[in-house]
Amino acid sequence: MPRRLLCVLMSAGLAVGTALGVTQPAQAADPTVDGGGRANAGVAPGARSGAMAKTAAIPAGYTVRGIDVSSHDHNLGPISWPAVAASGVKFAYVKATEGRTYLNPYFAEDYAAAKDAGLLVGAYHFARPDKRDPINEANFFVDSAKFTRDGQTLVPMVDIEWPYWSGAPTCYGLTPTEMSTWIRSFTDQVKARIGRPVMIYTNTNYWNPCTGKNASFGANPLDIAGYTAARPPLPAGWTAETIWQYAAGNPSQPGNYSQNVFKGTYAALTQLTGVPVAAPPVALRSRSNKRYVVAESAGAKPLIASRTTVARWEQFDVISAGGGYVALRSRANGRYVTAESKGAKPLIANRAKVSTWEKFTIINNSDGTISLRAAANGRYVVAESKGTKPLIANRTSISSWEKFDRISL
């Protein structure tokens, strides 16, 4: 079914349910005893996807691949984690728990075997807001998730999506305020336990109506579900995804696992582990003239795309600034790049700390390039006059002059 039609149908379903006052007791008994939920948020309420092909194309502009698995992926036998690693997969999320009592019987086995195969691995929890007990549910998850501060364990993830059983209310019978409060209590408790924000896995067609477009969770990394050729629109509060689940997989087919991609490099992915590996610096090469961006005169002059080779002044650290934003720190002087005067003046690396003017959103273009959008004014950074003038954030759309190759060093 085309996604546009699917979105219309889901929106209509929400409206009809509200109009008719369709409800279900919030404390209804579990519909299954085997933890039936899995990360499958890209489909309609009450549905399970089994139609995605094993050969779903990797989205353009993404290079770091991952999968997620649950007990359903053992329907045909054990998972061969060495084979998964050999296929090019670099990370995996394994379902650990659901609600307050269900523990995936294959979790410990898959968690250890995936790590032994060399993957970065995280645990995920299928949320049950209908139980209205977020603190105990969060504690049960953390107690079971085996989060450790090493260089291989990814931050845990909470799966917030449609109920999977027939007859359930789309938003578990909770109002947007109740749903937002439940999510806040759960995520705050996980952070209090492990010291890191939990990743949120969801779908915009669930999040926006069920939370009332709550935009206060942008500091949590986002795993967006959308089984489409182009990345789906993001939920309220996020300007960028961390992971995109672009294919749902099919547990009835061997090796057909849910497919994910990470937005960034492998080194950047390690930042989601208990002991992050220092990310290497990057160089930015303008597509307008094939020249590298330099913090001219050790950062004393505005940035300009004028260099044919990369030395220290052409190197930048990409620093997470929260809420999906990044900051660029020049290796030339250790200062942050700023969209000076709210973007009215050329970019220059002269700030000692990060505020709004030093924040940028990285846009992954379909041709593998990136563009930078300044938080100061919402405009795109351009290599003005094909790179002959300093960079400035003043464009409202992306063309060749606003595209850069991001090169890890």
Structure tokens at 48: 């399970």
What pLDDT sits at residue 166? Answer: 82
**8 A C-beta contact, residue 236 and residue 213:** yes
Rounded Cα distance between 344 and 377, Å, is: 9
Distances (CA, A) of 133 to 137, 208, 341, 396: 6, 22, 48, 45
Q: Which of 272, 300, 335 finishes a domain? A: 272
SS3 268: helix
Asked if residue 50 belongs to a domain, the reply is yes
* Same domain, residue pair 250 and 313: no
Give the Cα separation of 140 and 134 in Å (integer).
10
> Can you give the pLDDT of all 409 residues of the chain as single tens digits?
333 333 333 333 333 333 323 333 333 444 444 567 777 776 666 555 444 444 578 999 899 999 999 999 999 999 999 999 999 999 999 999 999 999 999 999 999 999 999 999 999 999 999 999 999 999 999 999 989 988 899 999 999 998 988 888 989 999 999 999 999 999 999 999 998 999 999 999 999 999 999 999 999 999 999 998 899 999 999 989 999 999 998 888 999 999 999 999 898 899 899 766 667 899 999 999 999 999 999 999 999 999 999 999 999 999 888 777 889 999 999 999 999 898 999 999 999 999 999 999 999 888 889 999 999 999 999 998 989 999 999 999 999 999 999 998 8
Q: What is the pLDDT of residues 384-397, one digit of tens each?
A: 898 999 999 999 99
Tell me whether residue 64 is exposed, middle or buried, using C-beta atoms within 10 angstroms of its C-beta: 0 to 12, 13 to 18, 19 or more. Answer: buried
CA atoms within 13 A on the CB side of 136: 9
The CA–CA distances, whole Å, from 90 to 63, 68, 117, 154, 270 equal 10, 11, 10, 12, 11
254 and 363 both lie in a single domain = no
Nearest to 67 by CA among 49, 87, 92, 46: 92
Q: Please tell me the predicted confidence (pLDDT) of residue 37.
A: 79
Residue 387 forms part of a structural domain: yes
Same domain? For 232 and 168 the reply is: yes
Exposure of 327 by Cβ count < 10 A (0-12 exposed, 13-18 middle, 19+ buried)? buried
> What is the rounded distance in angstroms from the CA atom of residue 47 to the CA atom of residue 272?
31
Final residue of a structural domain among 250, 272, 294: 272
Does 334 share its domain with 231? no
* Structural domain contains residue 252: yes
Token pair in block for residue 132: 């209205």
Q: What is the helix (H) or strand (E) element at residue 84, kind and residue range?
A: helix 81-86
Q: What is the pLDDT of residue 3?
A: 35
What pTM value is reported for the model? 0.65
* 208 & 305 share domain: no
CATH code, domain with 354 = 2.80.10.50
Say yes or no: 266 and 289 in one domain: no
CATH code for the domain in which residue 213 is found: 3.20.20.80
Q: Name the residues annotated as catalytic.
A: 68, 159, 161
Strand 89-98 to 120-126 pairing: parallel
Number of domains within the chain: 2
The residues near 132 (Cβ < 8 Å, ≥ 6 apart) are: 26, 27, 174, 182
Rounded CA gap, 384 and 178, in Å?
49
- What CA–CA distance (Å, rounded) separates 61 from 265? 11
Do residues 259 and 310 both lie within one domain?
no
